[in-house]
Amino acid sequence: MPDRPIRLLTLVQKEPGRAPHQRFRFEQWASHLERDHDVTLEFAAFESPELSDVLYASGAWARKARLLLRDGIRRLDVLRRAREFDGIIVQREATMLGGAYLERALAGPLGKPLIYDFDDAIWQVAPSGPNGLASLVRAPWKVGSICRRASAVTVGNDFLASFARQYNDSVHIVRTSIDTGAYAPLPHPGQDEPFTIAWTGSHTTLAHLARLRSAIAMVAAARPTRLLVICDVPPTEMGGVPVDFVKWTPANEALALAPAHVGVMPLPDTLSARGKCGCKALQYMAVERPAVASPVGINSEIIVPGVNGQLASSDDEWVRHLLQLAADPEGRARMGRAGRATVLASYSAAAAAASFAAVVRAVVPAP
């Protein structure tokens, strides 16, 4: 056994608790890594709380630019701090300003083992959203360059791995995971309640929910139906279907699913969507709610139709599956239990941490 744990400086985008891609990966794994694998993570966020609060709001360009520049300069301090650690983890990017210069310095002159992690198709140029073309300042095309310089690359699914393997031979799939303690089975709502369809996510994926506007309206025309949306911002109008909006917080994200009979995860079949790691579906399944999802990317791997959920490609399929689940409480309960078993078997935080620890041991020398 080593004299002390392996210490890894973990470069992330936001302070803990604010970004799903961090919470469902390293923030969940940290306690398991320390307790079970003698690996400790010290998080270093690029964004200050002030920048996080304003970054995805509309406008405020001058303030965003000032805070981004200030945080970019502050980020250079990791070049000094990195000397104190056995290795470096970069999740998505070391800096939101420009190319891979920090990663080059960390893996080059400093010679630190660098593990690069991403769980989305972040190399895709998508100049949409509140910051429009200004988002290109992040230079998303740098992802391949960072992969090339890393000692190892960890990703959330096969699609992401196929991209990374163009640049690096040491690519490992470590699934995005669920804290199965926080996401425990929830009591099922009564059959006399309106059929409640849940969607959980952030403003960045809220547009995907709009794809179900017609299908959910058709379900609501056949029986009393409500839509439960757990998000940082409320959704747009959903075809006249009543919407219960719950403001997302880290503390309530699991318990807020309690009123739901089912959860949905619609996705377009795009390159970007194929990079998704199925987190929404896994959240529903962990609390024993059937997931109905688009058969895009890893969703087709997670969900076995009719066993632990359903897959839907068209409005007709969405309506059919949702109405069947609405009318079959015993079937919902059976699928919910099977979904929970799937999460426990293959997508728990403990299992993902063990997979990641094996990568660390392979590339970071024991202290």
For position 212, which CATH number holds?
3.40.50.2000
216: confidence class by pLDDT, cuts 50, 70, 90: very high
Do 146 and 157 sit in the same domain of this protein?
yes
Stretch 345-354: mean pLDDT, rounded? 97
Per-residue pLDDT for 131 more than 60? Answer: no
- Are residue 216 and residue 316 in the same domain, yes or no? yes
Q: Is residue 152 part of a domain?
A: yes
Q: What is the mean pLDDT of residues 113-119?
A: 97
Whether 22 and 170 share a structural domain: yes
Structure tokens at 253: 């994200």
Same domain? 37 vs 100: yes
Q: For the chain, how many structural domains are there in total?
A: 2
Q: List the structure tokens of 94.
A: 């070391």
The one-letter amino acid at 57: A
Is there a single domain that holds both residue 116 and residue 40? yes
Segment 118-141 shows an average pLDDT of 73
Question: Residue 29 falls within a domain, yes or no?
Answer: yes
Q: What is the mean pLDDT of residues 59-80?
A: 93
Q: Is residue 190 part of a domain?
A: no
Q: How confident is the model at residue 135 (pLDDT cuts 50, 70, 90)?
A: low
Mean pLDDT to the nearest integer, 65-87: 96
Host domain of residue 354: 6-177+349-363
* Domain membership flag for residue 142: yes
Over residues 243-284, the pLDDT tens digits come to 999 999 888 999 999 999 999 999 999 988 999 999 999 999
**274 inside domain:** yes
pLDDT (average), residues 282-298: 97
Q: What is the pLDDT at residue 198?
A: 98
User: Domain check: are 39 and 120 in the same one?
Assistant: yes
Pairing of β 114-118 and β 87-91: parallel
**Choice among 10-24, 117-131, 203-217, 225-239 with the minimum mean pLDDT:** 117-131
Residue 94: what pLDDT?
96
| 205, 327: one domain | yes
Examine residue 187 and state whether it is found in any structural domain, yes or no: no
* Residue (of 9, 4, 10, 34) closest to 22 by Cα position: 10
Please state, rounded to an integer, the average pLDDT across all residues of the chain.
93
Cβ–Cβ contacts within 10 Å for residue 101, how many?
A: 15
pLDDT of amino acid 70: 97
pLDDT over 50 (residue 133): no
Same domain, 323 and 353: no
Task: Average the pLDDT over 159-175 and give the result.
Answer: 98
Looking at the structure, tell me whether residues 70 and 139 fall in a common domain.
Answer: yes
Nearest CA among 304, 308, 367, 303 for reference residue 336: 308
Q: Please state the rounded mean pLDDT for residues 181-197.
A: 93
- Torsion sign, CA atoms 227, 213, 131, 277: positive
Q: Residue 190: pLDDT band by 50, 70, 90 thresholds?
A: confident
Residue 126: band (very low, low, confident or very high) from pLDDT cuts 50, 70, 90: low
User: Does position 55 have pLDDT exceeding 90, yes or no?
Assistant: no
* 60 and 114 both lie in a single domain: yes
Residue 184 inside a domain? The answer is no
Q: Is the pLDDT of residue 89 over 60?
A: yes
- Name the band, by pLDDT with cuts 50, 70 and 90, for residue 2: low
| pLDDT band of 161, cuts 50, 70, 90 | very high
Which pLDDT tens digit goes with each residue over 18-43?
888 899 999 999 999 999 999 999 99
Please report the pLDDT score of residue 57 as a whole number.
Answer: 77
358 has pLDDT over 50: yes
Q: Do residue 202 and residue 85 come from a single domain? A: no
Number of Cβ within a 10 Å radius of residue 239: 15
In a domain, 227, yes or no: yes
Is beta strand 6-12 parallel, antiparallel or unpaired with respect to 87-91? parallel
Judgement on whether residues 333 and 358 belong to the same structural domain of the protein:
no
